Structure 1
């Protein structure tokens, strides 16, 4: 049997397969609210062992991109409840990725026009899409101790609201952490990736997390070190080391067989193949994702990707 299609326990969640839908920003939450289109998007992919949503800000100042969803108001809780109900009706399980964007923000995203917050007042050097076009990220305001305390409370509050919104992976034995060793996105630069993530894995070991989710960035040796020090469930988003080609089922099977991971997350494969377990069981074919529709827009490239018919053809 294909290892990707075997059941696994993550925390106290019983997953019917080891295929996790990775979090992907899609920029279709106008005013910070997900809608019926988003509910259909996730429900179409309910065959995943676990869906992890796009990054969702826990507070106003946590937003870093246009049209990303929040989880800090009653209206947002109600909107997300439409999504979780739709996924549950189709037998799925869904977790929310709570994400504070830190310095990757802009005053134009916030009603009061304040500066984004960060641990240090260091500008990213990158640009972001805004209603006024591409703008430089400003130098963020360095967080005070009070700001840090508030950010912690914002995460805790978002977790409580996630329970009210019907998400599955919140609460004791159901909380995970996502890390991306070696990532250089938005001006990030780690001086000693090996030391940093070895120490992080050691620090996480005593805590009763449901899982650690590792997004590789050409860092397989770092993943092995994390696995050495973290014995709990590990979800791996594998890097295939084949240029720009995204990871595929074979990469996931190899990681499972080697003991490196307990479950495998994919991004583009899920985005373009809502019936991914069926396609893997059939040995393909796999639809290619359309990058022009990744960020923003309507149903095109969002809820209109085909599924396999009984004959094995797309429909």
Structure 2
């Protein structure tokens, strides 16, 4: 059986190992443009089989957090090109995570101070850290049917921009209560058009996005991240038919031949098994390269690959504190602890100053 440290082919990409750096928001892009500090941060972690970038806005409307980079202007493309060139020079591969937060935003982030957009006109639970302080998330505008189609094309255009910037692939962010999730889950989606109601309708948006992205850059360079049971900003009560929904999505993604499906098991950064879900049933329907995520230890990751339960394992917090995580996992060396105080915003401290072995 394969090892965590063996090469693997996913779509068009041959990866040196099966260890993936998960997407990690760090809020260190003032002006929303990648900078030299980010170049060094990603370069340090290029030993990963694949780096997935921090969430990267596909359009100005897609922003919901301070100092997070985009991938939709010439300046952003040029900034990301410096990042990808550094990663490639260090022997690594990197994918851009394409992000639209939907209603998890505030008017202060939106062009002209307009309302954010979503599948619904109901506000999400929670607050946004805006340039002028912490504020409740804004009430969104429910996208019209025609506007949904325009957002699908924004994802496709962002994918083209990512390839122009030198990324090896893209990962569409369909997890963690952001825009795609806001269509998938019926605790949020209250639409009555072709994108709301039964499972087949709620799945339509993500399937259209992935078809458009695959058509734009090739399916072998396109992946998707999903989190079936992680809905931190949804109303209490949960969703109906979650297993049916995600089995349907996986089954209808299969014909596209995507590079990978990246699945968050359980609650992001929290319990893995609080909500029952059969990930193996979903994987069987997808049939392609399968990436797992959420609190994996070295032993868990080794076993998941060796037993054939995963093709790749994504590590998040461990990659923040250990730029040489691949080497440390090979040697079973001690891992450095994360400095939580420096996670979001700031400079080199807690970002590029973690030492390697």
The residue aligned with 2:241 is: 192
The residue aligned with 2:204 is: none
Deviations 1:173-232 (A, max 9, x none): 110011011002223643332121111111111111011011111257432121221211
The residue aligned with 1:228 is: 284
Counterparts of 1:195-206 in structure 2, within 5 Å, are 195-206=244-255
Counterparts of 1:1-315 in structure 2, within 5 Å, are 3-170=3-170, 171-172=217-218, 173-187=220-234, 189-217=238-266, 218-219=272-273, 221-237=277-293, 239=294, 246-308=295-357
Secondary structure class of the residue paired with 1:14: strand
Query: What is the CA–CA distance in structure 2 between the aligned matches of 1:274 and 1:92, rounded to whole Å?
Result: 13
Query: What is the CA–CA distance in structure 2 between the aligned matches of 1:88 and 1:300, rounded to whole Å?
Result: 24
- When the two structures are superposed, what TM-score results if normalisation uses the length of structure 1? 0.92
Deviations 1:60-108 (A, max 9, x none): 1011111111011101100101100110110110000001100011110
| RMSD (Å), alpha carbons | 1.5
Query: What is the CA–CA distance in structure 2 between the aligned matches of 1:137 and 1:232, rounded to whole Å?
Result: 37
> Is contact 2:2–2:305 with CA below 8 Å preserved after alignment?
no
Deviates more, 1:100-109 or 1:181-190: 181-190
> Is contact 1:107–1:114 with CA below 8 Å preserved after alignment?
yes
Q: Which runs of 5+ in 1 are unaligned?
A: 240-245, 309-315
Query: What is the CA–CA distance in structure 1 between the aligned matches of 2:124 and 2:66, rounded to whole Å?
Result: 17
Secondary structure class of the residue paired with 1:135: strand
Query: What is the CA–CA distance in structure 1 between the aligned matches of 2:339 and 2:52, rounded to whole Å?
Result: 21
Displaced runs of 4+ in structure 1, greater than 4 A?
Answer: none
Shift of 1:160: 0.9
Secondary structure class of the residue paired with 1:3: coil
The residue aligned with 1:313 is: none
Query: What is the CA–CA distance in structure 1 between the aligned matches of 2:278 and 2:43, rounded to whole Å?
Result: 34
How many aligned positions are there? 301
Query: What is the CA–CA distance in structure 2 between the aligned matches of 1:186 and 1:271, rounded to whole Å?
Result: 25
Q: Which runs of 5+ in 2 are unaligned?
A: 171-216, 267-271
Secondary structure class of the residue paired with 2:95: strand
Secondary structure class of the residue paired with 2:55: strand
Query: What is the CA–CA distance in structure 2 between the aligned matches of 1:303 and 1:191, rounded to whole Å?
Result: 43
- When the two structures are superposed, what TM-score results if normalisation uses the length of structure 2? 0.81
Shift of 1:146: 2.5
Query: What is the CA–CA distance in structure 2 between the aligned matches of 1:48 and 1:222, rounded to whole Å?
Result: 28
Shift of 1:2: 8.5
Query: What is the CA–CA distance in structure 2 between the aligned matches of 1:250 and 1:9, rounded to whole Å?
Result: 23
Query: What is the CA–CA distance in structure 2 between the aligned matches of 1:76 and 1:65, rounded to whole Å?
Result: 16
> Is contact 1:63–1:100 with CA below 8 Å preserved after alignment?
yes
> Is contact 1:269–1:276 with CA below 8 Å preserved after alignment?
yes
The residue aligned with 2:184 is: none
Query: What is the CA–CA distance in structure 1 between the aligned matches of 2:7 and 2:348, rounded to whole Å?
Result: 32
